[in-house]
Amino acid sequence: MFWRKHPKKFFSPEEQRRIVEEIRKALAVARANKTKAADLLRERLQVLTQGQSPGPVHFGARDAGGVGVRSPLWNRRIPAGSTYTPYTSSSLDAQYITEGLANTPGGSSKLCLSCHDGTLAIGNVNVLNGAENATIPMTGTGAGGVMPPGEGTTSGFTRFIGTDLRNDHPISITYNADLALRDGELRQLDASQRWPAGSGSVIGVRAPGFKPLIPLEPTGAGGAGQVQCATCHDPHIRETNAAAGNQKFLRMNRFQETPPVAGLTTVGDIICLSCHDKNGAFGVWAFSAHANPAVANETYRAEAAALREFPPDLPVWRAACLNCHDTHTVQGARRLTREGTDAPLPPGSPFAAKQGGNPALEQTCYQCHTTAAKSVLNSVATVPNIESDFALPIRMPITTPEQGGSTDEVHDIATGFNDGFVDCTGPTNRCGTDFMESRTKLAQRHAESGHSAGVQRRLACDSADAIRAKEASFAQRFSFAAERSAAGMGLRT
For residue range 319-328, what is the model confidence (pLDDT) as tens digits? 999 999 999 9
| β-sheet bridge partners, residue 168 | 328
Least confident of 45-54, 93-102, 180-189, 241-250: 45-54
Nearest Cα to 391, choosing from 370, 377, 406, 407?
370
The answer to whether residues 254 and 247 touch, using CB atoms and an 8 Å cutoff, is yes
Give the whole-angstrom CA distance, residue 355 versus residue 43: 38
Q: What is the mean pLDDT of residues 137-147?
A: 93
* Cβ atoms within 10 Å, residue 87: 21
Nearest Cα to 368, choosing from 294, 321, 314, 301?
301
Checking if the pLDDT of 32 tops 80, the result is no
Most confident of 67-76, 447-456, 461-470: 67-76
Give the whole-angstrom CA distance, residue 298 versus residue 381: 9
Give the CA distances from residue 409 to residues 177, 404, 441, in Å, rounded to whole numbers and listed in that order.
32, 9, 11
In this prediction, residue 113 carries a pLDDT of: 93
Confidence of residue 461 (pLDDT cuts 50, 70, 90): very low
Nearest Cα to 181, choosing from 283, 97, 90?
97
Phi and psi of 132, rounded to 5°? Answer: -85, 155
Checking if the pLDDT of 467 tops 80, the result is no
Which DSSP string do the residues of 47-116 spell out, in sequence order?
HHHH-S-SSS-EE--B-TTSPBP---TTS--PPTT---B----TT-GGGGSTT-B-SS--THHHHHHHHH
Give the whole-angstrom CA distance, residue 61 versus residue 68: 6
The answer to whether residues 219 and 107 touch, using CB atoms and an 8 Å cutoff, is yes
The answer to whether residues 376 and 323 touch, using CB atoms and an 8 Å cutoff, is no
The answer to whether residues 93 and 183 touch, using CB atoms and an 8 Å cutoff, is yes
Give the whole-angstrom CA distance, residue 488 versus residue 493: 10
Give the whole-angstrom CA distance, residue 13 versus residue 257: 31
Q: What is the mean pLDDT of residues 359-373?
A: 96
Tell me if the pTM is above 0.85: no
In this prediction, residue 327 carries a pLDDT of: 97
Residue 284: half-sphere exposure toward Cβ, Cα within 13 Å: 8
Nearest Cα to 180, choosing from 105, 275, 98, 99?
275
Q: What is the mean pLDDT of residues 216-241?
A: 93
Phi and psi of 217, rounded to 5°? Answer: -110, 140
Q: Write out pLDDT tens, residues 268-301.
A: 999 999 999 999 878 899 999 999 999 999 999 9
